[in-house]
Amino acid sequence: MRNVLLIHGGVGSDPSFNGRLNGYAETASEELSALDNAVRAVIKMEDDPDFNAGTGSVPRIDGSIQMDAAVMIPGHFGSVINIERVKNPILVARDVMAKSPHIMMTGDGAVKFARLMGYPDYDPMTEKARNLLKKFEEDVEKNEVPDKFKIYFKYVRVHDTVGAVARVEGEFAGAVSTGGSFPMMRGRVGDSPIPGAGIYVGERGAVVATGVGEEIAKNVLSFRIYSRIGTGKLYDIIKEEVDKFSVPVGIIAIDEKDYAYYANKPMAVGIKEF
């Protein structure tokens, strides 16, 4: 049974990024811990403005950037929700799990915790994000978008998450980070930082989801897939569950013997066996 690190750039991401993600997986797999592998891979994607996490995050309709991230290993979980002005939310989520008595930190409390942990102030706003917001505001002003709260599928960028699952020396871990979908209201929370929704890791494997967070969360998708591990081929389980959705959804998963991924839209992935 070989060690494996499997990562994705979000459902809707261009498969031409596969080579880049393979490189990130190659670099991240230098550590012997499954959690280290998963977190290091997500950091690479958070630092890449082509992916919607960390520096590549999309803005809220009020112009702010709020990010979510989560890590999980069997029996332990940590996440940050609507955190602002940090470079790598995934590292703060890991510290929530490892260095706090809590499993979730939100908003200004998450920011204060990040500062306590030594993470400096960082503005993830990019020119690409500013232009996205500007175009939206211009369309609203021209009445091309009559109701800014009913146009999700006109503007939504479906590659809304990056994630990783790892199996190293029989141990499992998962990590996920997102800049959210656009457009969305300040304070919106998707599936990524919710255990069982956007991520689930247990003794039998690890599952990470990407796609329309509201639908993924309502269906507790990652736990549903995890609960079926061992009942059939991993790919077949994932495909059956994803094909139930009419909105963009993707999954990466790993168990004791196999790993698999599937999405109902294009999805960039990277894989490293070692």
Q: Which residues are annotated as a binding site for substrate?
A: 188-191, 210-213
Go through 163-176 and write b for each residue having 16 or more CB atoms within 10 A of its CB, e for each that does not.
bbbbbbeebbbbbb
Residue tagged active-site, from 106, 161, 178, 231: 161
Q: Are 6 and 238 in contact (CB under 8 A)?
A: no
Query: Nearest to residue 256, comparing CAs of 202, 205, 201?
Result: 205
| Binding-site residues | 188-191, 210-213
Assigned token pair, 265: 């839209």
Helix (H) or strand (E) holding 113: helix 107-116
161 is catalytic: yes
Order of all β-strands in the sheet with 104-106: 104-106, 76-83, 67-73, 171-178, 162-168, 4-11, 267-273
Question: What's the CA gap between 266 and 50, in Å, rounded?
Answer: 15
Question: Where in the sequence numbering do the catalytic residues fall?
Answer: 161
